[in-house]
Amino acid sequence: MAFGFAENPALSITPHLDSVDYPATREQLVSAAADNGAYMDIINVLKSLPREEYQSREEVMRDLAEAARRFATGGLRDDDGVDRDRRNIGRDLVEGAPDGNSRHP
């Protein structure tokens, strides 16, 4: 799935986020993509976003990887049987990094 960097523009999710006013619900994101003629795969990834509401485009972009994982695995649990919340993976390390430490995850 293209997230907007040097891939086929027809498979990119990001152009479908341009027309959305935030805050927006997951359903509003799905509707905007459908109205813009997005492929069904893009619509399904947006339906798989982990949050019900997004305050900004950046929050959506942060959760796209989780949505792609959910879509690809059908919402299955991890290999060890645990259903983990991955909405904030890496965010705490980046946003809460102590002074002098790399803020890159």
Query: Judging by beta carbons within 10 Å of its beta carbon (0-12, 13-18, 19+), is residue 35 exposed, middle or buried?
Result: exposed
Tens digits of pLDDT across the chain (105 residues): 545 455 566 678 888 888 899 999 999 999 999 998 888 888 888 888 888 999 999 899 888 877 776 666 555 566 666 665 655 555 666 666 677 665 554
pLDDT at 30: 93
